[in-house]
Amino acid sequence: MKKNTLRTLWLSLTVMLIFCIVVFTGLANYTVTQSDRAIGEVGEIYMDQMGTQVKMHFTTMIELQESRMNGIIWSTPQQSAAEDPEQAWAHLASMASQTGFHFLSLYSAGGACDTIFGEPVEIGDPTSFMDSLAQGELHVTDGTLPSGERLLLLGARAVYPMRSGGTSSILVVGLPMEAITKELSLDIGVTQAYSHIIRRDGSFVLRQADATRDSYFERLLTLGHFDNGTPTEAVAAIQKAISSGEDYSLLVEINGERRNTHFTPLTYSDWYLVSVLPYSLLYEPTYSLVNQSVLSTLLGCGLVLLVLLTLFFFYFRFSKRQMIALAEARAAAEHANRAKSEFLSNMSHDIRTPMNGIVGMTAIASSNINNPEQVRDCLKKITLSSKHLLGLINDVLDMSKIESGKLTLNLDQISLRETMDSIVSIIQPQLKAKQQSFDVFIQDIQSELVCCDGVRLNQILLNLLSNALKFTPSGGRITVTLMQETSPADPHLVRNHFRVKDTGIGMSPEFQQRIFDSFTREDTTRVQKIEGTGLGMAITKYIVDEMGGTIELQSQVDKGTEFHITLDLEAVSDQEADMVLPNWEVLVVDDDAQLCSSAAASLTEIGVHAECALGGPSAISMVERRHQKRRDYHVVLLDWQMPGMDGIETARALRRRVGKDIPILLISAYDWSDIAEEARAAGISGFLSKPLFKSTLFYGLSRFAEPASAKADAAPKLAPDFTGRHLLLAEDSALNWEIARDLLSSYGFALDWAENGRLCVERFQASQADHYDAILMDIRMPVMDGYQAARAIRAMDRPDAREIPIIAMTADAFSEDIRRAMDSGMSAHIAKPIDIRELLRVLQRCLS
Lowest model confidence (mean pLDDT) among 26-40, 342-356, 669-683: 342-356
Exposure letters 756-793 (e unless 16+ CB within 10 A, then b): bbbbbbebbeeeeeeebbbbbbbbebeebbbbbbbbbb
| Helix or strand (DSSP H, E) at 575 | none
Residue whose C-alpha is closest to residue 804's, from 750, 768, 753: 768
Examine the domain organization and report whether 111 and 248 are in the same domain. yes
For the cut 70, the answer to whether the pLDDT of residue 484 exceeds it is: yes
Nearest to 789 by CA among 797, 780, 798: 780
CA distance 418 to 427: 14
Mean predicted lDDT score pLDDT of the chain: 80
Of 780, 776, 839, give the one whose Cα is nearest residue 811.
Answer: 780
CA distance 259 to 276: 6
Nearest to 504 by CA among 552, 564, 442, 438: 438
Q: State residue 533's pLDDT score.
A: 42
Q: Which residues of 143-181 are buried (b: 16+ CB within 10 A; e: fewer)?
A: bebeeebbbbbbbbebebbbeeeeebbbbbbbbbbebbb
Higher pLDDT, 265 or 421: 265
693 and 738 in a single domain? The answer is no
Contact 529, 515 (CB under 8 A): no
pLDDT at res. 599: 83
What average pLDDT does the segment 14-34 reach?
69
Closest by Cα among 193, 196, 188, 170 to 271: 196
Tell whether 320 is covered by a domain. Answer: no
C-alpha neighbours within 13 Å on the C-beta side of residue 678: 10
Shared domain check, 87 and 227: yes
Q: Which of 8-12, 55-59, 358-362, 640-644 has the lowest mean pLDDT?
A: 8-12
Mean pLDDT across 263-280: 86
pLDDT band at residue 531 under the 50/70/90 scheme: very low
- What DSSP string runs through 336-382? HHHHHHHHHHHHHHHHHHHHHHHHHHHHHHHHTTT-HHHHHHHHHHH
571, 605, 623 — which closes off a domain? 571
pLDDT for 403 beyond 60: no
Sign of CA dihedral 370, 374, 375, 378: negative
- Is residue 719 a part of any domain in this protein? no
Least confident of 28-42, 410-424, 451-465, 660-674: 28-42
- Residue 502 has a pLDDT of 93
- Which has the closest alpha carbon to 564: 454, 461, 422? 461
Asked if residue 189 and residue 99 are part of one domain, the reply reads yes
Query: Beta strands 774-777 and 726-730: pairing type?
Result: parallel
**pLDDT tens digits, residue range 145-191?**
998 888 999 999 999 998 888 899 999 999 998 877 777 666 555 45
pLDDT of residue 593: 83
Amino acid letter at 697? L
Q: Are residues 560 and 637 in the same domain?
A: no
Q: Is there a contact between 22 and 154 (Cβ–Cβ < 8 Å)?
A: no
Same domain (yes/no): 224, 122: yes
CATH number of 455's domain: 3.30.565.10
Tell whether the model's pLDDT for residue 776 goes beyond 90.
Answer: yes
Instruction: Give the contacts of 266 (CB within 8 A, at least 6 positions apart).
Output: 55, 58, 59, 197, 272, 273
Domain end point (choices 692, 713, 734): 713
The pTM assigned to this predicted structure is: 0.43
What is the pLDDT averaged over residues 822-846? 84
Comparing 676 with 400, which gets the higher pLDDT? 676
- Encode pLDDT of 568-614 as tens digits: 998 887 644 467 888 888 999 988 888 888 888 888 888 888 899 98
Q: Domain span at residue 218?
A: 50-302
- At 774 the pLDDT is 95
The gap from C-alpha 596 to its chain's centroid, in whole angstroms, comes to: 38
Reading across the β-sheet that carries 686-689, which strands appear in turn?
A: 609-613, 585-589, 635-639, 664-668, 686-689
CA 675 to chain centre: 33
**What pLDDT sits at residue 190?**
47
Nearest alpha carbon to residue 145 among 153, 137, 154: 153
Answer yes or no: do 422 and 491 share one domain. Answer: yes
Greater confidence (655 vs 310) lies with: 655
Do 438 and 510 reside in the same domain of the chain?
Answer: yes
Reported confidence tier of residue 340, pLDDT bands at 50, 70, 90: low
DSSP string, 74-88: HHS-HHHHHH-HHHH
Question: pLDDT at position 718, please?
Answer: 44
Beta partners for 588?
612, 637
The CATH number of the domain holding residue 801 is 3.40.50.2300
Please give the pLDDT value at position 287: 60
User: Rounded to whole angstroms, how far apart are CA atoms 665 and 549?
Assistant: 37
| Whether residues 457 and 399 fall in one domain | yes
Q: What integer pLDDT is reported at residue 156 of this predicted model?
A: 92
Residue 587: closest CA among 620, 621, 635 = 635
Same domain, 165 and 259: yes
Mean pLDDT over 267-293 rounds to 74
For residues 741 and 750, give the distance between their C-alpha atoms in angstroms, rounded to a whole number: 8
Range in 60-64, 195-199, 388-392, 755-759 the model is least confident about = 388-392
pLDDT in tens, 206-229: 887 667 777 888 888 888 888 778
Separation CA 514–CA 526 (nearest Å): 17
Per-residue pLDDT tens for 89-106?
999 999 999 988 999 999
Residue 42, in any domain of the structure: no
Domains of the chain: total = 4
Task: Please check whether residue 241 is in contact with residue 274, taking contact to mean a CB–CB distance below 8 angstroms.
Answer: no
Residue 330 lies in a domain: no
The strands making up 150-157's β-sheet, listed across from edge to edge, are 113-117, 103-107, 170-176, 150-157, 140-144, 122-123
pLDDT at 315: 52
- Is residue 322 in a domain? no
> What pLDDT sits at residue 1?
46
pLDDT in tens, 706-737: 553 443 343 334 456 788 899 999 999 888 88
What angle do the packed helices 647-658 and 616-628 form, to 10 degrees?
A: 20
Amino acid at 635: V
Higher pLDDT, 457 or 11: 457
Tell me if 200 sits within 8 A of 238, measured CB to CB: no
Place 290 in a pLDDT band, splitting at 50, 70 and 90: low
Which amino acid, 160? Y
Give the whole-angstrom CA distance, residue 160 versus residue 81.
6
Q: Report the C-alpha gap between 391 and 412 in whole angstroms.
A: 14
Cα distance between residue 608 and residue 603, in whole Å: 5
Kindly give the pairing relationship between strand 585-589 and strand 635-639: parallel
**Closest C-alpha among 814, 796, 805 to residue 839:** 805
The whole-angstrom separation of Cα 329 and Cα 340 is 17
How many whole angstroms from its chain centre is CA 294? 52
* Poorest-pLDDT segment among 448-452, 621-625, 632-636, 704-708: 704-708
Q: Are 704 and 634 in contact (CB under 8 A)?
A: yes
At residue 13, what is the residue type?
L
Same domain, yes or no, for 658 and 523? no
Asked, for residue 516, whether it belongs to a domain, the answer is yes
Residue 539 makes CB contacts below 8 A (sequence gap 6+) with 402, 459, 463
Q: Answer for the pair 198, 216: CB distance below 8 angstroms, yes or no.
A: yes
Q: Which of 687, 713, 739 is the last residue of a domain?
A: 713
C-alpha R_g of the chain? 36
Please name the amino acid found at residue 308.
L
User: What pLDDT is stored for residue 2 in this prediction?
Assistant: 42
Instruction: Indicate whether 214 and 269 sit together in one domain.
Output: yes
In a domain, 16, yes or no: no
Check residue 782 and report its DSSP letter.
Answer: S
36 inside domain: no
State percent of the chain over pLDDT 70.
79
